[in-house]
């Protein structure tokens, strides 16, 4: 779910903005840079759409964009991207513990990660950590013991 309680350091974001920041962060981690062409390919959209969005995100202070050079996340953009990555990993862990196959996990996360409330996220995080420490609960519930 987009961040419902932005602070001065973390602005309110939409699912689309979160998808961009997540993809940009992934590209920077894997390639060392994030160019418009790579962002467009990763998101399956036109380069013109990406250019418009990165210019907007630059104006909002979430990244720095230089035409023909690429993008880098600002401190604020990095903070939002880290939260998105944490949410993504936690949902992967939780669904994986439940024995859901990897393809379904990835498809489901894309539908869930931007629309989960902070309260639900916190509950899932607490339950996931508990289940990791007590896998016998999963077997008692009839779920396969599956480690990711």
Contact 85, 25 (CB under 8 A): yes
The per-residue pLDDT for range 43-62, each reduced to its tens digit, is 999 999 999 999 999 999 99
- Integer Cα distance of 45 and 68 in angstroms: 18
Separation of alpha carbons 145 and 141, rounded Å: 10
Going from N- to C-terminal start, the domains of the chain cover 15-79, 85-140
Q: Helix, strand, or coil here: 99?
A: coil
| 15-79 CATH choice from 1.10.3430.10, 3.10.580.10, 1.10.10.10, 3.30.70.270 | 1.10.10.10
Indicate the pTM of the whole model: 0.78
Tokens 């077997």: give the residue: 139
Positive/negative CA dihedral, 52, 15, 7, 126: negative
**How many CA atoms are closer than 13 Å to the CA of 68, on its beta-carbon side?**
0
Residue-wise pLDDT for 79-100, tens only, equals 999 999 999 999 999 999 998 9
The token pair that represents 87 in the structure block: 């949410």
Q: Which fold has domain 85-140?
A: Diphtheria Toxin Repressor; domain 2 (1.10.60)
């Amino acid at each position: 779910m987009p961040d419902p309680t932005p602070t001065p350091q973390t602005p309110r974001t939409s699912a689309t903005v979160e998808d961009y920041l997540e993809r940009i962060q992934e590209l920077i981690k894997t390639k060392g840079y994030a160019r418009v062409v790579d962002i467009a390919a990763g998101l399956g959209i036109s380069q013109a759409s990406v250019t418009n969005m990165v210019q907007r995100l630059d104006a909002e202070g979430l990244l720095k964009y230089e035409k023909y050079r690429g993008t880098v996340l600002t401190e604020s953009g990095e903070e939002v991207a880290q939260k998105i990555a944490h949410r993504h990993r936690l949902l992967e862990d939780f669904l994986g513990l439940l024995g859901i196959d990897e393809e379904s996990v990835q498809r489901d996360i894309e539908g869930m990660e931007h629309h989960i409330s902070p309260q639900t996220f916190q509950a899932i995080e607490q339950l996931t950590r508990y289940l990791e420490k007590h896998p016998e609960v999963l077997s008692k519930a009839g779920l396969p013991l599956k480690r990711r």
